[in-house]
Amino acid sequence: MSSPTDAGRVAALVGLLFGLAGMGSAAVAVTLPAIAADLGLSTGGASWIISLYALMLAVATAVYGRVADLAGIRLPLLVGVGLMAGSAVLGAFAPSYEVLLGARLLQGSGAAAVPVLGMAIVSARYDGSVRTTALGRVAGTAAAVSALGPLAGGLVEDLVGWRAVVALPALGLLVVPVLWRAVPSQGTGARLDLLGAVLVAATASGLVLLVQSPSSGVTVAVVGAVLLALGVPAATAQVRRRPEGFLPMAVVREPVVVRSALAASCVPAAWFALLIAVPAVLATRGWTPLQVGLALVPSAVTGFLAPRLAGPLLARLGATRSLVVSGGTAATALVLAAAGATLGSAVLLVGAVVLVTFAFGLGQPALMAAVGGAVPADVRGVALGIATLVFLVGGGVGSAVVGGIGELLGIDRSLLALALLPVLGSLALRPTLRAERAGV
């Protein structure tokens, strides 16, 4: 482990890179009404720009985590950030909706390197309370930068147009050289289970496509259902065939990893849902992207303050109880946002984003702390990747619910439906909480 003296600097840089990756959704979200008007899309159609990004962000995370275990963190981080930046520029110059969606898929697949590899850098360099504090700072910085995304997106859209907003994550290339010396370069040299990676990606894709299908037609629903129905048993069989493969048996049979990831997934679900819902509701009331961005400044302030609260809370409550608090906060945010959507209240909508920003700032490091402490060091990277995959699939589900089910039932009802996820998450954590009380 490295000296704790550089932990603050490394955590801030990782959080900045994480936040710039988050701008791929946060900044673009406020411009969705403008993109829809420019390209002749409905709200559901425009929401695919967020959903596909979130989907690829999720399904590629575990791949990067496993590659980092095998080859070290440096190369996959460089490849991921390079792909994120290049496809962001491609999206800015996309001549059509289809090309824009393709660029967003590539951008998400590149940005997926940042969450899991960033957390792996911190987990590999530090231990104990230093690691816990650093993880809190990473999440807080990331939340703050991401929360500034709507303001940045509104300002850039107002000055230049939505295409320049799509290119903002390319700034991540400037962070990599500064962080480079802190990135571990050695791995185990083992082989990657490519089939396992493909099966996991297909299964996660099927879930998101199925949820979004109400706004996209029967074909999308059928594809999603087939991928989900075939992917689950196929991925299960692959784990049994290759217990040391992409989904190591030591990880998938560790209940703390599975329960924590499922419980934490409600937080990005709420985050991505509000990224679509808030601009959409306010746009119907005549708000411009810049006005939406300015209204969300309080959430950025919350993001800046989150590390000071999340670190002590995590140290005091422990990872599992912190996940429960984070989920409860996310549920409250969704209910508040549903009321805001029904009443057309900007105050309630902004308050909801403030709450979910805090939930993210606490939930992300709590998940990483729970997983990092539950598995051996030789599979820590893939465990973090799998946990982050489940975590971010929640984001894909959240955006898909608002973009898909919201087209049929309304945004307010779709947000209320999502508020049930934290309840299920708390139920999933009950065995872990009982074990902790019993001292197991």
Does a structural domain hold residue 290? Answer: yes
> What dihedral angle (degrees, nearest 10) is formed by the CA atoms of 387, 389, 390, 393?
160
- Residue range 30-42: mean pLDDT, rounded: 86
Does a structural domain hold residue 420? Answer: yes
Does a structural domain hold residue 186? Answer: no
C-beta of residue 77 within 8 angstroms of C-beta of residue 24 = no
CATH of the domain at 14: 1.20.1250.20
Number of folded domains that form the chain: 1
> Who's near 237: CB < 8 A, 6+ residues apart?
none
Q: What are the tens digits of pLDDT across the range 330-349?
A: 999 999 999 999 998 999 99
Cα distance between residue 226 and residue 207, in whole Å:
10
Three-state DSSP string of 318-342: CHHHHHHHHHHHHHHHHHHHHHHHH
Residue 275 banded pLDDT, cuts 50, 70, 90: confident
Cα distance between residue 44 and residue 28, in whole Å:
15
103 pLDDT higher than 90: yes
Does a structural domain hold residue 395? Answer: yes
At residue 316, what are phi and psi to the nearest 5 degrees?
-80, -45
CA 141, 291, 397, 208 dihedral sign is negative
- Residue range 40-58: mean pLDDT, rounded: 80
Lowest mean pLDDT among 116-120, 127-131, 151-155, 429-433: 127-131
Does a structural domain hold residue 387? Answer: yes
**How many Cα neighbours within 13 Å face the side chain of 55?**
28
> What dihedral angle (degrees, nearest 10) is formed by the CA atoms of 382, 385, 391, 396?
-130
- Residue range 235-248: mean pLDDT, rounded: 82
* Cα Rg of the chain (Å, integer): 20
440 pLDDT higher than 60: no
204 pLDDT higher than 90: no
Range of the domain at 428: 4-176+193-437
CA angle 276, 30, 425 (to 5 degrees): 30
Cα distance between residue 433 and residue 323, in whole Å:
11
- Residue range 289-304: mean pLDDT, rounded: 84
2 pLDDT higher than 70: no
Does a structural domain hold residue 184? Answer: no
Most confident of 89-93, 189-193, 264-268: 89-93
Does a structural domain hold residue 185? Answer: no
Supply the DSSP symbol for 375.
S
Does a structural domain hold residue 325? Answer: yes
Which of residues 81 and 185 earns the better pLDDT score?
81
199 pLDDT higher than 90: no
- Residue range 362-383: mean pLDDT, rounded: 78
- Residue range 239-252: mean pLDDT, rounded: 79
